[in-house]
Amino acid sequence: MNFQNALTLLSCFAGLEFVTASPISSPKKPESQLGQLVHDLGAADFHIREAAMPKILGFGEAALPDLEQVEYGNDPEQSFRARELIQKIELSIAADTDPSIVALVERYLKASTEEKMTLLNVLRQKRAWRQILKLFAREKNAEVISRYQDWVGQVAVIAARECLAKGDTKGAKDFLEMAPADRPGLLALADFHRSQGSWAEEMKSAKLLHGPKALAWQLALNRAGGKLEAARDVAIAGGEVKIAATMAALLGDPLPWLKEKSVGPSRQIYPPYTELAIRHWSGQPLRQEDLEPLVQAIQSNQLVTRQNGISALFLLGQAPLAEAAYAKDLPLEAFNYYESLQRIPEALRCIGLDPEQPDYNGWVAQRFAKMKDKPLDVGQDAKELQELVVLASFLELRGKSDLCDQAFRKPLAAYAERDAKKFLTLIGSLIVGVSVEGGAPYIAMNAASDWAGQDAERWDRVVRESVSEQDAVLDTWNWLAELDPKASYAERFNGLFALFNYHRDPERVADRWMAKCWQEMDRTPANQRGPLLTRLQLLSRIKPDVANSLRIWKQLSESQRSEIPTEIHIQDLAASERWNEAADYFLNEIEQATHAKTEPQPEIHAYAASALRRAGREKEAVQQDRLVDTLALGRDSETIAQGYEYGADFTRSAIWWERGVVLADPSSALFENWLAKYGAVLLEQKKWGKAASVAEIQLQMAAAVNIPVGRA
């Protein structure tokens, strides 16, 4: 029962005098068909008693008052059957309910804790939504309640969405009101009222209620309605400190969040950062003496303390104070930091190179000398290995391949002669790199070619031990020899790198090999192309290739198409601006889901709407927008936003990013992702004050991680 119904019920009782009921001695004389059927429950004839049972069930909840009158009467048979019927009606069991569901419900009522958990899952498979919700509402077992409360809330949303997809708003409301009255359950119901246009009426009624439950309901309604100021005030009144702080931050004031000093489970804030951030947001300038605790921290003998201090200084915008300590403690990370800022001389100093006259050859030779007797394992902090990979990557990315070749090629050849296994491990590290910028694939290819020459066995080792042991890579390596028997090992190796996206491929080597693949396809009879299509599919996924991917799609059977992840094909359609095809694809998916009676997913309607709009089919897009708004029920805002972003509808995606962060649990691990997305939206909208506030929350969360963050 929702708060409106509760209020109505209370008003009905106003002014009435309550009289103690007398014990029931015998049922009243039946005055209706239902009354006669209840009377028949105590009939002498067994067949009459049995015939009355399903007929009474047909009345549903309307039969409860009559049954309750005889529930504890003098006729044992009638009382027993009345209690059985009351229980079934309260559990939404009707005469036509699937007997297997009835049996599961009866088992549940007598089951152990573990068996109850199994039975709930079986009931879900049978889509027995009402029975699950009714059983859970009667549940007294604390373990079952604790473990399944969120799960049951999801069941209520699924059931409500199915009703809404069929236009049954009353049924949807009933399911949502049966859900656990926890925060997610109340938000789902509140969002239902928002989307159905009954929000204002529901809020008016909610304000007449009092107590913690009333405040929880008002809070849910205000959050669902996007009333942040009201939500903040109600959260304060209800003791929801973190929700109140979140609403304040979204309004542009991060001070309550900072003062609350909590960012999530199992995480602690570095105190000096928060204290200084509070001072800053209170309008007080940061003085040198205020920063002294952090200056002392970066001079500590404890690595963790130094790193916390470095992070806090960066986050407070005090980069000059942090940089020297950063370069000393974590030179490779500092190298990447300076390089990203285009401060190359400082980057080179971090790894011991003179920026005026960098001796790359000598520097590389020193690292190889130090690695002579060391295991090459990045996981064991092989410092020299990481330094070599970082420098090689730096030189290649900046177009200094000649310098890289001069510095690395001879030492790599000598290293290979000393220990082939370590050499191949090093080549693998050069291929993949040790940072987000990647490795140095060209020097890796050159060094591998120098070592392997024309030795087939060595080339197989290079592929297996340096590139990958995955079957797909090894299979492709061998297949390239079949596609072009005249190609040298080095050409095949370059082709492998290009096809598997290991290097930037400015010479479009991948295109030339894909052309050979299609020539092979043309030579192959249609009924024998299956293995070739499988190979081409794999290659077009590894290195995104819209033209080839769509070309492959045309040749696939329906069963083969079903094996391709949806996101691949729809991104291909978007990249090629084939919006009508994309829209029809989503509409077909929606139709199939409807026929299969699977849970309605609001995000697919968002994808359909954005594609339809790009295709110029505005009326159809508006219909899908309505379904998105109706089916959301306070959930899935992230995937809905992504659906609108698919068609570059950033106006609507921004609405859903905002709605998502307002409804999100600030204690959840995903809250940081929401903040990042919403912060980007605020910047795009030029709402600088709110963007700064959201950024401050992100910074405080970053201050809870015990690693330097570089640029904030």
At residue 163, the pLDDT reads: 95
Q: Can you tell me the mean pLDDT for 500-522? A: 90
Check whether 539 has a pLDDT greater than 90.
Answer: no
b (16+ CB within 10 A) / e for 16-52: eeeeeeeeeeebeeeeeebeebbbbbbbeeeeebeeb
CA 115 to chain CA mean position, Å: 31
Which of the given ranges, 106-120, 244-258, 469-483, 501-515, has the highest pLDDT on average?
244-258
Q: Which residue has the higher pLDDT, 6 or 324?
A: 324
Contact in structure between 315 and 273 (CB atoms under 8 Å): yes
Q: Which residue has the tokens 């916390």?
A: 308
Q: Which residue has the higher pLDDT, 87 or 148?
A: 148
- For the cut 60, the answer to whether the pLDDT of residue 489 exceeds it is yes
The confidence score (pLDDT) of residue 22 equals 34
Q: Please give the pLDDT value at position 67.
A: 86
Give mean pLDDT, residues 216-234: 97
Ranges 44-48, 611-615, 697-701, most confident: 611-615
pLDDT over threshold 60, residue 11: no
Tokens of 135: 């059983």
Residue 16: pLDDT band by 50, 70, 90 thresholds?
very low
Quick: pLDDT tens for 341-355.
999 999 999 999 999
Q: Average pLDDT of 535-544?
A: 83
For residue 364, pLDDT beyond 90: yes
pLDDT reported for residue 224: 97
pTM tops 0.85, yes or no: no
Q: What is the mean pLDDT of residues 551-557?
A: 85
Report the alpha-carbon distance of residue 441 to residue 327 in Å, rounded.
Answer: 27
Average pLDDT taken over every residue of the chain: 87
Confidence at residue 262, expressed as pLDDT on a 0 to 100 scale: 55
Instruction: Select the highest-mean-pLDDT range: 104-118, 280-294, 352-366.
Output: 352-366
Q: Is the pLDDT of residue 706 over 70?
A: no
| Cβ atoms 156, 175 nearer than 8 A | yes
Q: At what angle do helices 46-57 and 33-40 cross, to 10 degrees?
A: 140
The mean per-residue pLDDT over the stretch 10-37 comes to: 48
Tell me which of 253-267, 291-305, 635-649 is least confident: 253-267
**Tokens 């429950």 belong to residue:** 41
Q: Which residue did the predictor score with more confidence, 565 or 255?
A: 255
Q: Tell me the CA distances in angstroms from 174 to 8, 153, 342, 471, one per residue in order.
A: 16, 13, 60, 53
26-52 pLDDT per residue, tens: 344 445 888 888 888 888 888 888 888
Q: For the segment 424-454, what is each residue's pLDDT rounded down to a tens digit?
A: 999 999 988 755 456 899 999 999 999 999 9
Note the pLDDT of residue 543: 80
The per-residue pLDDT for 71 is: 79
Residue 17 confidence (pLDDT): 34
**Residue 259: per-residue pLDDT:** 87
Report, as an integer, the average pLDDT of 647-652.
Answer: 96
Cβ–Cβ < 8 Å for 634, 190:
yes
CA-nearest of 435, 432, 460, 434 to 448 is: 460
CA-CA-CA-CA torsion sign (597, 599, 602, 608): negative
Structure confidence by residue, pLDDT tens digits, 658-669: 999 999 999 888
Tokens of 106: 């009866």
- Give me the mean pLDDT over the 405-413 stretch: 95
- Percent of residues, the chain, with pLDDT higher than 70: 91
Residue 536, both tokens = 């081409």
Per-residue pLDDT tens digits for 566-581: 788 888 999 999 999 9
Distances (CA, A) of 221 to 43, 288, 460, 637: 52, 46, 64, 17
